[in-house]
Structure 1
Amino acid sequence: MRTDPSIHPRPHDPAPVRLAPGGEFDLIRRFLAGPAPAERPDVRVGPGDDCAVVAGDGIALSTDMSVEGVHFRRDWLAAEEIGWRAAAAALSDLAAVAARPIGILVSLAAPPDDAGDYAARVMAGCREAVESVGGALLGGDLTRSPGPLVIDVTVVGEAPRPALRSGARPGQELWVTGELGGSAAAVEALLAGREPNPAARERFARPRPRVREAQWLHARNIPTALVDLSDGLAGDAAHLSAASGVAMLLAPELIPIHPAARERSKVRSLRRALGGGEDYELCFAAAVGAVGPFHTAFEQAFQVRLSCVGRAGGGDGVWFVDAEGHRRPTGIVGWQHFGGGTP
C-alpha cells in the first residue's frame, strides 16, 4: 500500500532553519543558532514550520508561564537563568508523570529593548534546560510586549504509562527527593537585600527538574502516586491527598531541610521546607518496603537524597503526626497565586 508522505513525514531534518527576511525572523534565527540538532525519531518536524510534529506513545503536555515581577526579577537573575527557570518549571511537570521529554515550545513576549541580546540569552537558558534532560527546542512564538517580559513554556513528552496523583493508599510510605527550602531561603535573602547563600541561590536560579529520577523510579514500579514539589511539600502533598482520597501524615523530624534553610527556629525552617515552593523535587507514595532495595542505587545513580517523610492514612488533608500517631495541623498550605498560600 502506498504511504502519503504528508501523513507520515520523514524524521526532522537537522539542516538550518530557513525563514523569510525581517527583524522578528532575524531574532528567531538567533534563538536557533548553534550546532544543528541531532536527528531524532520523535521529532518529525522541528522549528521553522507553523507546527512542530512529534511522535510518541501517550503524548504528555503541560504549560507553565513565568512573568517578570511575579516569578523573577532582573536584578536577581541573569537572562540565561531566567530562561532556565522558566523551562525547568515546565519540565518538572513531565517529571511529575514520569514522562520522557521530547521538547518544549517557548512563547516569548518581550519589550522592544529586549528584542536583541537579552531575548537571545533568555532563549539560550530555555534551550540549555531542555537539552539537559534530553529534550529539544521545538519552536514557539515571539511577540512584542509593552512590559513586563513574559515566558510561556509548553512541554511535550511521552508517557505510555503515566504516573498519577491518585494511587496512594492508607499505610503506604511518603517519600521525597533532595532537600527542601533552599529556593525559599534564597528568595527571603534577596527580598531583604542580602546576598543569598550560594547553594540556596543555585537552587533558586537553576532548579533541576527530576525528570530522569522520576523515570528511574517509575521503571521499577515504585511510586503508587507521584507529584512534583513546585508549591511546597504541604501544598503538593495536599494534591496527593485529594486525588487519592487519603490523609498525608508528615513526621516533621524526617523532612530533609536544605542546610541554607535551617535556623534555630524549627518552625521557621519547616515553614520554608513545607511552604516556600520552587524546590522542583519529587514527592511520591510507595508500598511499605518498596523503596528499600533501591534506595542506595538511586542515591548513587543521581547523587540525590531520598527520604521517607511520613505515610498515608485514613481521612484527608495534610497533617503532622508524632510517634504515637497523634495528628496536628501543619498550619501551612503552600504557595498560591490568588491568596491563602505561604509567600
Structure 2
Amino acid sequence: MRDSRSSAGRTAAAPLGPGPEFDLIRGFLAGGSAVRADVRVGPGDDCAVVAGDGIALSTDMSVEGIHFRRDWLSAEEIGWRAAAAALSDLAAVAARPVGILVSIAVPADEVATLAPALMSGCREAVEAVGGALLGGDLTRSPGPLVIDVTVVGEAPRPVLRSGARLGDEVWVTGLLGGAAAYVQAMLAGQAPRRGARERFARPRPRLREARWLADRVGPTAMIDLSDGLAGDAAHLAAASGLALLLVPELLPVHPAARTRSRPRTVHAALTGGEDYELCITAPAGAVAPHAEAFHAAFGLPLTCVGRTGGGDGVWWVDAEGHRTPVNAGGYQHFREGP
C-alpha cells in the first residue's frame, strides 16, 4: 500500500499525540495557512518537506534583553519582529518566501499564555508576506525568553551582496532611522515621535519589493539593512571588493529620526538598525526610470544615495569627488566596550 505521507501536496498538520505540550502546538497550528503546492509535508512530522528551485535558508535568533524588552512590546509584537527579522534575509537575496520554523524557549510559569501569543505574531508576519508556518520547537527556559526563526524560501536567481560593479549607483528603499528613534526615546524616558513605534514593533521585510526590483531593475548586488546602512553597506563593499561612496544630503531619513542637528540626523540614518529596508547597486541609469512605479506599487520612496568607486570601505563623497571616511558602524553583538 502506498504510504500517504509521501503524497505530493500534503500540507495539513499531522495528528499529534496527547499531552499539554502538544495541546499547545495544536493551538499554534489551528486556522493556519491554506494548502500550498510548495509545502509537501507540513507541521507535525519530524521534518517539514518543501519543494522549490534554489532553496534559500537562513536563521535569526531574538533574545530578551538584547533584541527586545517585554515592557516595550506585546508578546504578539515580539513574535512578529522575530519572524520579520529572519524573513528580511530572504528579501536580501530576492527570494520568494515558503515558510518559517520557529523554536521558542519560554519560562514554565508563562508557557500557556506567552507561547501562543508569540506564535500568533510569528504566523501573522509570515502569512503577511505569503509564507506559511512550517513547524518548530517549544521548550522551557529559566530565562531569558528566546525565539529562533529559520526561514525557507525559493531563489532560482539570488541577488547576492558580492556582485556590485565599479560605477554602479547605490539605492535604498524606504526611510531610515525610525526604529532607532523609538529605542532612543524609550531609553530616555520620552514619548516616541509619531511612526517610530510602528517601525520598531512591526517592521516590514521587503520581500515583494525585492522581487519587484530583481525583475525590473536587475540589481547587481543587494543587502537588507538590519544593522544600519553604515555597517551593512560595509558588508556589501567588502563582498564586492570596492568602495561605496555616499552623499549625506541624499539619505532618506524617517521623520521620527530627524533633529535640528543635521549631523545627528545623518548619524541616525546611518547607524539606526532594524530598518529592514534594502540597499541595492545597479548600473547607472537603470533604477531611476522605475522609481515612480516602485512608489506607486509599494508606497515607498526609492532613493539614490551614492555610487560605487575604487578602493574599499564606505565613504562620504562631495560634488567634487572628495572622499571622507564614514566613521560609523552598524550594530555588533560582540563589540567590546559599552
Q: State whether TM-score is above 0.5.
A: yes
Supply the distance in 2 between the matched residues of 1:297 and 1:254 (Cα, whole angstroms).
20
Supply the distance in 2 between the matched residues of 1:151 and 1:76 (Cα, whole angstroms).
17
**Structure 1 residue matching 2:232: 3-state secondary structure:** helix
Q: 1:276 to 1:99 in 2, by over 3 A?
A: same
**Structure 2 residue matching 1:308: 3-state secondary structure:** strand
Residues 211-259 of structure 1, C-alpha deviations (whole Å, 9 max, x = no match):
0000001012421000000000000000110011110000000000101
**In the alignment, which of 69, 81, 86 is matched to residue 85 of structure 1?**
81
Aligned to 2:104: 108
Q: Normalising to structure 2: TM-score of the pair?
A: 0.97
Aligned to 1:319: 315
Q: How many equivalent residue pairs?
A: 338
**In the alignment, which of 174, 181, 204 is matched to residue 208 of structure 1?**
204
Contact 1:170 1:314 in 2 (8 A): yes
Aligned to 2:119: 123
Query: Share of identical aligned residues, percent?
Result: 72
Comparing 156-165 with 17-26, greater Cα deviation is found at 17-26
Residues 323-342 of structure 1, C-alpha deviations (whole Å, 9 max, x = no match):
1110111110111011169x
Comparing 165-174 with 149-158, greater Cα deviation is found at 165-174
Supply the distance in 1 between the matched residues of 2:99 and 2:85 (Cα, whole angstroms).
14
Aligned to 1:272: 268
Contact 1:17 1:29 in 2 (8 A): no
Residue 10 of structure 1 and its aligned partner are, at CA, apart by 2.1
The answer to whether 1:48 aligns with 2:22 is: no
In the TM superposition, what are the counterparts of 1:9-88 in structure 2 within 5 Å? 9-14=7-12, 17-34=14-31, 36-88=32-84
Aligned to 2:292: 296
Supply the distance in 1 between the matched residues of 2:259 and 2:48 (Cα, whole angstroms).
48
Supply the distance in 2 between the matched residues of 1:191 and 1:113 (Cα, whole angstroms).
28
Residue 5 of structure 1 and its aligned partner are, at CA, apart by 5.9
Supply the distance in 2 between the matched residues of 1:145 and 1:9 (Cα, whole angstroms).
37
Residue 262 of structure 1 and its aligned partner are, at CA, apart by 0.5
Contact 2:33 2:127 in 1 (8 A): no
Supply the distance in 1 between the matched residues of 2:196 and 2:318 (Cα, whole angstroms).
29
Residue 103 of structure 1 and its aligned partner are, at CA, apart by 0.0
Contact 2:11 2:35 in 1 (8 A): yes
Amino acid at match of 1:11: G
Residues 257-314 of structure 1, C-alpha deviations (whole Å, 9 max, x = no match):
1011010111111111111110000000010000122111111000011000000000
Supply the distance in 2 between the matched residues of 1:158 and 1:82 (Cα, whole angstroms).
26
Supply the distance in 1 between the matched residues of 2:218 and 2:173 (Cα, whole angstroms).
13
Contact 1:208 1:280 in 2 (8 A): yes
Amino acid at match of 1:21: P
Contact 2:11 2:36 in 1 (8 A): no
Contact 2:162 2:221 in 1 (8 A): yes
Supply the distance in 1 between the matched residues of 2:155 and 2:4 (Cα, whole angstroms).
25
**In the alignment, which of 147, 155, 162 is matched to residue 151 of structure 1?**
147
Residue 12 of structure 1 and its aligned partner are, at CA, apart by 2.0
Supply the distance in 1 between the matched residues of 2:326 and 2:231 (Cα, whole angstroms).
11
Q: Which runs of 5+ in 1 are unaligned?
A: none
In the TM superposition, what are the counterparts of 1:158-237 in structure 2 within 5 Å? 158-237=154-233
Q: 1:7 to 1:272 in 2, by over 3 A?
A: same
**Structure 1 residue matching 2:219: 3-state secondary structure:** coil
**Structure 2 residue matching 1:155: 3-state secondary structure:** strand
Amino acid at match of 1:19: L
Q: Over the residues paired in the alignment, what is the CA RMSD in angstroms?
A: 1.6
Q: Which runs of 5+ in 2 are unaligned?
A: none
